[in-house]
Structure 1
Amino acid sequence: MTSTTATAPTLEVRALSKRYGARAAVDALSFSCSPGTVTGFLGPNGAGKSTTLRILTGLAEADEGMALIGGRRYRALEHPARTVGVMLDARALHGGRTGIETLRLTARTLGMPRDRAEEVLETVGLEQAATKRVGGYSYGMRQRLGIGVALMGDPSVLVLDEPANGLDPEGIRWMRRLLRSFADAGGIVLLSSHQLREVEATVDRLVVISEGRLVREGPLEELTAVTGTRVAALDQAALRRALDAHGIAFELRAGGELAVSLAPEDMGRLALREQLVLTSLGAGAGTGLEEVFFALTGHEEPSADEPAPAL
């Protein structure tokens, strides 16, 4: 499949805010995605992910701030769908058309060659279902077709909401390879997902939000890397007060331990100086994405039944 991803623009969200009545769905949110990256956009239900993606793709207006692709809003792009491929809800595909009709109509709408539809159909692995009506597709097949529609304009940016939903293990592996090759060709992928294990196996960067605000952004390896020291004390409140008093960062870990940004020996010296009785002390271990998500947002792994935005 041909690609223009080598010239991918930067994706930027700058101080974005959006309110619905008294509720702030997005609150001064800022982050960026560079060419060559697959970024996981994570947050608990109601965190503002769908609202952010809708503003980014021109389906909603921000109250303040902006979402830009190559320094321009989506609607100001010369050929929006040929710059940004979007899949926010594969269930919105017309059930009365066949798979190939859906892609040919998309190709004609975007001014792409007719044979682009056959090319994309092969890319998403739906050749055998080309003449089957979309209403008879499984959820996983609709997801593949939705990704195909997003790829139709040969974009340099992909914005996908829950792309792994409904895919079987083979389909998930296919999607993972597709997104990785897209990014390796110089493209940008921004994907929102509740499937944390699949995100961890697919992305190289994370943007984590909660209550509409950014709580952490950075490379996956950095966010799940070794974290200084694991420590717990007989008096946990006193331990936290001591760390706060010395300006030492810490995060709560499973079992009530704290992950502290100190070497174990330095933590031991601090405990001695503050007369703290420690009940555990050891080198920090790398953490999985689930644990990082819980520590950053205070939520358990979210369910996959958050309603997707309607197109």
Structure 2
Amino acid sequence: MTATPPSAAPGTTLEVRGLTKRYRSRPAVDALTFECRPGTVTGFLGPNGAGKSTTLRILTGLARADAGEALVGGIPYRSLDQPARILGVMLDARALHGGRTGLETLRLTARTIGMPASRADEVLAMVGLQEAGAQRVGGYSYGMRQRLGIGVALIGDPAVLVLDEPANGLDPEGIRWMRLLLRSFADAGGTVLLSSHQLREVEATVDRLVVISQGRLVREGALADLTEQAGTRVSALDPQALRRALDAHGIAYEQRSATELEVSLAAEDMGRLALREQLVLTSLGTTARGGLEEVFFSLTDRAAVPAGIVPAAAEQPRAADAPTR
């Protein structure tokens, strides 16, 4: 089954610009910038406590940023005239009211946002719950709740979907269904931002990645580019001189161990730079990256995380952040 083409606001881009949010004086999100374009499914990845949940809450109007902005088609979510008709959201399917039936849940949502009641029946079929529509949500399995949560996100026929862990609880058939639905949605011009810890499913679903750690962007780009590129690892007799030379030439690098750096240069170019700067290299080699899992842990290696990193608990919202509705 596939989602109907988005029609409320085609060509809608999500933009996060310099987003910063602190809890208890610690940064949960730190000057974060990225964008999600129409026609793409973007995977939003990071370890626990990286700031993903906080970013999604700000993006969907559930929390306020201390600095920066999150925009939906150039407009903050709270300023949209009909937000559910532009952006469909699923952050926690477990929050659905257990006393209502699946169909009642969708009909109430449709009525609330000004959609016809027939849209509820259409979406119920779209998410594969026709036979369970008369059952109370409290009796649904976790996977059925996930499907219903995605249905609630789709009810307004939005141009953008923001989904947090949508594959949780889904069986293999359900995961395949979700993958096809999101792909068809994007192919019709929609924009999808998908946060998940299930790296293999992300790799099979998305075409772009945004990877964050400690509230900061560590990599953004096409999935193919990030998983196929090779990294050059280098160490020198004088590590400080090596870092000074890289900084002087504006070359990005990451500390991989106490003595080794990974640099954004081809190995032969790194060799030429070392010769020009009279650096004595003790190792130089290319490490080909494999799948998404290897890339993820390479980018978010927490072995050397400094004290003061925001714990997962720090991402919990303060009561004052909850919108008044």
Compute the TM-score of the two structures, normalised by the length of structure 2: 0.82
Shift in alpha-carbon separation, 1:294–1:104, aligned structure 2, 3 A? same
Query: What letter corresponds to residue 243 of structure 2 in structure 1?
Result: D
Aligned to 1:217: 220
Tell me how far apart the structure 2 counterparts of residues 20 and 260 of structure 1 sit (CA, whole Å). 33
Task: Show structure 1 runs of 5+ residues with no match.
Answer: 301-305
- 1:89 pairs with 2:88: no
Distance 1:299 1:139, change over 3 A: farther
1:157-196 → structure 2 map (5 Å cutoff)? 157-196=160-199
After superposition, the Cα gap between the structure-2 partners of 1:284 and 1:5, relative to the gap in structure 1 and judged at 3 Å, is: farther
Post-superposition shift, 1:3?
3.1
Distance 1:293 1:32, change over 3 A: same
Structure 2 partner of 1:14: 17
Partner of residue 205, structure 2: 202
Is the partner of 2:228 in helix, strand or coil? coil
Q: How many angstroms apart in 2 are the aligned matches of 1:2 and 1:184?
A: 8
1:156 paired residue among 159, 176, 195: 159
Residue equivalent to 2:237: 238
- Aligned counterparts of 1:249 and 1:78: Cα–Cα separation in 2: 42
Deviations 1:209-236 (A, max 9, x none): 111111111111111123154x56xxx4
* Identity score, percent: 71
Aligned residue type for 2:196:
S
Structure 1 residues 126 and 21: CA distance shift in structure 2, 3 A: same
Match of 2:29 among 26, 29, 32: 26
Report how far residue 21 of structure 1 moved.
1.7
Q: Give the conservation status (yes or no) of the 8 Å contact 1:251–1:295.
A: no
Cα 1:117/1:294, change in 2 over 3 Å: same
Matched, 1:67 2:70: yes
Is the Cα–Cα contact under 8 Å of residues 236 and 281 in structure 2 kept in the other structure? no
- Whichever residue aligns with residue 77 of structure 1, its letter is L
The structural deviation recorded for 1:284 is: 4.2
2:236 and 2:279 in contact (8 A); partners too? no
Between the aligned partners of 2:253 and 2:5, the Cα distance in structure 1 is 47
SS at match of 2:149: helix
Of 118, 122, 132, which aligns to 2:121?
A: 118
Q: Note if contact 2:60-2:77 (Cα within 8 Å) is conserved in structure 1.
A: yes
Which whole-Å CA distance do the structure 2 matches of 1:51 and 1:299 have between them? 20
Deviation, structure 1 residue 267: 5.3
Distance 2:115 2:13 in 1: 24
Partner in structure 2 of residue 98 of structure 1: 101
SS of corresponding position for 1:166: coil
Query: Could you tell me how far apart the structure 1 residues matched to 2:106 and 2:26 are?
Result: 39
Which amino acid in 2 is paired with 1:108? R
282, 286, 291: which one pairs with 1:288?
291
Q: Structure 1 residue 6: deviation in Å?
A: 6.9
**Counterpart in 2 of 1:38?**
41
Spell out, residue by residue over 1:261-292, the C-alpha distance to the aligned partner (whole angstroms, 9 max, x if none).
444555566778745454x74x5424221222
Q: Say if 1:76 and 1:259 are closer, same or farther in 2 by CA, change over 3 A.
A: same
Amino acid at match of 1:92: A
The answer (yes or no) to whether the contact 1:5–1:182 under 8 Å persists in 2 is no
Q: Give the direction of change, closer, same or farther, for the CA distance of 1:157–1:62 in structure 2 (3 Å limit).
A: same
Q: Compared with structure 1, are the counterparts of its residues 217 and 109 closer, same or farther at alpha carbon in structure 2 (3 Å cutoff)?
A: same
> Unpaired segments of 5 or more residues in structure 2?
304-311
**Residue aligning to 2:309:** none
Q: Residue type of the partner of 1:238?
A: L
* Partner in structure 2 of residue 132 of structure 1: 135
